[in-house]
Structure 1
Amino acid sequence: MASFPLMKNDLILRAARGEETERAPVWVMRQAGRYLPEFLAVRADHDFFEICRTPALAMEVTLQPIRRYSGLLDAAIIFSDILVVPQAMGMEVIMNPGPHFPNPLITPADAEKLPKVVDVDKELGYVYEAITQTRHALKGEVPLIGFCGAPWTLFSYMIEGGGSKTFHKCKSWLFKYPEESKALLNQIADVCIDFLVGQIKAGAQLVQVFDSWAGELAPHHFEEFALPSLQRISSGVRAKLVAAGIPVVPMTLFPKGQNLQIALCADKAGYDVIGIDWCIDPADARRAVGDKVALQGNLDPNLLYGGRDALEREVKRMSESFNGGKKTKAWIANLGHGITPGVDPEDMRWFLECVHSHSAA
């Protein structure tokens, strides 16, 4: 592994390990993205996946929010997309403006055509290069997060051919072809394992698995279909790191919408941090998971449109609920989902300032 600059701010690493911190570390999902004019300036001249595949561009847009909010953000997250995994598996993905698969998987026979072995380092090495360059460029200011999509969420895109309101195509697979579905979920998980290990070798200091569509599954279907592949990833990543003599980094799972299953995730999924959306009270989430994992979240992203008084009031409420009147411990402040394109960057700044003010121990 490369030698990187010494860390000046390890707040998020300590929180992810369940330690008390002087305040909650804070970052925002999709913080390098379309709400920033500097990102839009880059995007005007470059295709979305061109940015992902060009390490210098991916580094630049990853650094943009760190520069703009210097001293307020406690982590950078590499600019990429969860759908680079299906691309590595041989599927075409177009972003125009949302994701579109021209040739989605229709039946299990289509899945059989996917390569059984994927050279992840070859297919996604551009992400590793961007991570290494970004780690150096950050100069230790904040840690760098790597990520991938969860197998169920990627499975959904690969079968639906894009986003969906009903998820009837991918759910039909689960119900009609349960064993073939589990096999494909495990196949995706194995690519995710290699991808996350490669990101960690390249310099990622935390990694997050985004299960954006977890809440579309009934609890028992989540346990049957989604959870095993999530467990496969957490155990597989750790095993490969240990075998290679590489320190294990904290791992976060964001099972959006599965708020009734966070105790199950804390007990069985094998992650250090569980991300929660805004539809559960943090105090209830803490009671559900106890001290088994750290928590991340969970402000409603639409509060960034609600005016500064409302934003400060809700950040204060969130902080009190996570902390329970005690010292700040095992909590990473974030939104309950990604920041949306219409947010005023100065309202994002206010959110970060409010977290600094109201989450202090």
Structure 2
Amino acid sequence: MTKFNDTLLRAARGEKIDHTPVWFMRQAGRSQPEYREIKKKYSLEEITHQPELCAYVTKLPVDQYDVDAAILYKDIVTPLPGLGIDVKIKSGVGPVISNPIRSVQDVYNLGDLSPEDDVPYVFETIRMLTQEQLNVPLIGFAGAPFTLASYMIEGGPSKGYHITKSFMFTETEAWYALMDKLEEMTVTYITAQVEAGAKAIQIFDSWVGALSVEDYRIFIKPTMTRLFQRLRALNVPLITFGVGASHLANDWHDLPVDVVGLDWRLPIQEAEARGITKPVQGNLDPSLLLADWSVIEAKAKRIVEQGVAHGENGSHIFNLGHGVFPSVNPDTLKRLTAFVHEYSAQLRK
């Protein structure tokens, strides 16, 4: 195995780096032809239950794109059956839950996650990758309590999260009990991932942008503060991320995290002007990956320049502002990775 590439870990800690590290959300699968062939035979759940196959899918973008990290191939709802939630991932829809949370008693009836009993295949995959296959860090992840709660309450994906927010406002005892339950599950789940070999952690609060700043501070931020405080004991970089949540970026900066993830709506330069001094991750609009290369390069160039200027050591991890689309050409991701590596290396000399 070649020398271990720890550039992403050093960038996340704000240390000096030679080039800006790159990885892409949803880089494993989606647009890769090899993955599409696998998906003709296996569902997402079936892939994740087969560690050798899951490890192959996870490692594929590292081999193809030369990115600086792998992210475990799985879904944020993977651990929920361990709590007693009946969830199925339906193609073209997403997670669908047949027993949604409707009352405080439903919350109290939830069980506790036992990682090695409930999702042993996750940790077998991590060990296989980190002990035998990868020369870059493996990023483990979990859904944040609000985002998981939104699926558990709505019964599936939502555009407005009306049922979730109504539950949050009116069923206060049940809401805080659910936040406590999901905090505990997330700490247990992430701890097991790190113990198995994950070198960094991203918490996806994908849909929390649906909340106002005031409601975030009342109903979510105390839970997230405790969650990240507990995860700090694991001594790995912690990244937080959500979509359409630029209004919450300063509140995320307050959390005990190492890296603040930005989507494409908030430029790095503007984030810094707002007081975000911690390392940042992002934030090319994934829609641009369908544009001509000249457009992609120009946008990526500005992001790299702002990232190199951010903080004392140019503390920036290049990523998209959300995930890779299935229609993206894998060659575009390979070319983009090489461009970011080369251009940032020139700027950092």
Give the TM-score of the pair, scaled to structure 2: 0.94
Match of 1:357 among 322, 326, 342: 342
Q: How far apart are residue 327 of structure 1 and its match? A: 7.8
Letter in 1 for 2:138: L
Partner of 2:77: 83
Q: Distance in 2 between matches of 1:63 and 1:222?
A: 36
Q: Distance in 2 between matches of 1:6 and 1:204?
A: 19
Partner of 1:128: 123
Q: Distance in 2 between matches of 1:193 and 1:304?
A: 35
Matched, 1:278 2:264: yes
- Tell me, what secondary structure is at the counterpart of 2:174? helix
Q: Contact (CA 8 Å) 1:210, 1:255: kept in 2 or not?
A: yes
Q: Contact (CA 8 Å) 2:14, 2:313: kept in 1 or not?
A: no
Partner of 2:325: 340
Task: Provide, for residues 75-112 of structure 1, a one-character-per-residue CA deviation record: whole Å limited to 9, x for no partner.
Answer: 01111110013222111111121221122122333222
Letter in 2 for 1:234: F
Partner of 2:288: 303
Matched, 1:103 2:99: yes
Letter in 1 for 2:247: L
- Tell me, what secondary structure is at the counterpart of 2:335? helix
Letter in 2 for 1:223: R
Q: Distance in 1 between matches of 2:301 and 2:218?
A: 38
Partner of 2:217: 223
- Tell me, what secondary structure is at the counterpart of 1:359? helix
Match of 1:9 among 5, 9, 14: 5
Q: Contact (CA 8 Å) 1:103, 1:161: kept in 2 or not?
A: yes
Match of 1:256 among 243, 255, 268: 243
- Tell me, what secondary structure is at the counterpart of 2:227? helix
Q: 1:73–1:65: structure 2 CA closer, same or farther, 3 Å change rule?
A: same
Q: Contact (CA 8 Å) 1:262, 1:288: kept in 2 or not?
A: no
Partner of 2:154: 160
Q: How many residues align?
A: 344
Q: Contact (CA 8 Å) 1:7, 1:143: kept in 2 or not?
A: no
Q: How far apart are residue 169 of structure 1 and its match? A: 0.8
Q: Contact (CA 8 Å) 1:23, 1:328: kept in 2 or not?
A: no
Q: Distance in 2 between matches of 1:221 and 1:20?
A: 37
Partner of 2:39: 43
Q: Distance in 2 between matches of 1:6 and 1:320?
A: 29
Q: Contact (CA 8 Å) 1:194, 1:237: kept in 2 or not?
A: no
Percent identity between the two aligned chains? 37
Letter in 1 for 2:291: G
Matched, 1:235 2:229: yes
Q: How far apart are residue 286 of structure 1 and its match? A: 2.1
Partner of 2:166: 172
Letter in 2 for 1:295: V
Q: Contact (CA 8 Å) 1:308, 1:350: kept in 2 or not?
A: no
Alignment of 1:300-339 (within 5 A): 300-324=285-309, 329-339=314-324
Q: Distance in 2 between matches of 1:235 and 1:7?
A: 32
Q: Contact (CA 8 Å) 2:310, 2:316: kept in 1 or not?
A: no
Partner of 1:245: none
Q: Distance in 2 between matches of 1:6 and 1:324?
A: 30
Letter in 2 for 1:182: Y
Q: How far apart are residue 155 of structure 1 and its match? A: 0.2
Q: Distance in 2 between matches of 1:357 and 1:310?
A: 18
Partner of 1:294: 279
Task: Provide, for residues 145-195 of structure 1, a one-character-per-residue CA deviation record: whole Å limited to 9, x for no partner.
Answer: 100000000000111111111211111111111232011011111100011
The unaligned stretches of length 5 or more in structure 1 are 242-247
Q: Distance in 1 between matches of 2:301 and 2:311?
A: 14
- Tell me, what secondary structure is at the counterpart of 2:79? helix
Q: Distance in 1 between matches of 2:184 and 2:287?
A: 35
Q: Distance in 1 between matches of 2:342 and 2:71?
A: 23
- Tell me, what secondary structure is at the counterpart of 2:23? coil
Matched, 1:208 2:202: yes
Q: How far apart are residue 21 of structure 1 and its match? A: 1.3
Q: Contact (CA 8 Å) 2:113, 2:189: kept in 1 or not?
A: no
Q: 1:9–1:108: structure 2 CA closer, same or farther, 3 Å change rule?
A: same
Q: Contact (CA 8 Å) 1:91, 1:101: kept in 2 or not?
A: yes
RMSD, aligned CA: 1.8
Q: How far apart are residue 287 of structure 1 and its match? A: 2.8
Q: Which moved more, 1:173-182 or 1:105-114?
A: 105-114
Letter in 2 for 1:343: V
Q: How far apart are residue 232 of structure 1 and its match? A: 2.0
Q: Which moved more, 1:306-315 or 1:98-107?
A: 98-107
Give the TM-score of the pair, scaled to structure 1: 0.91
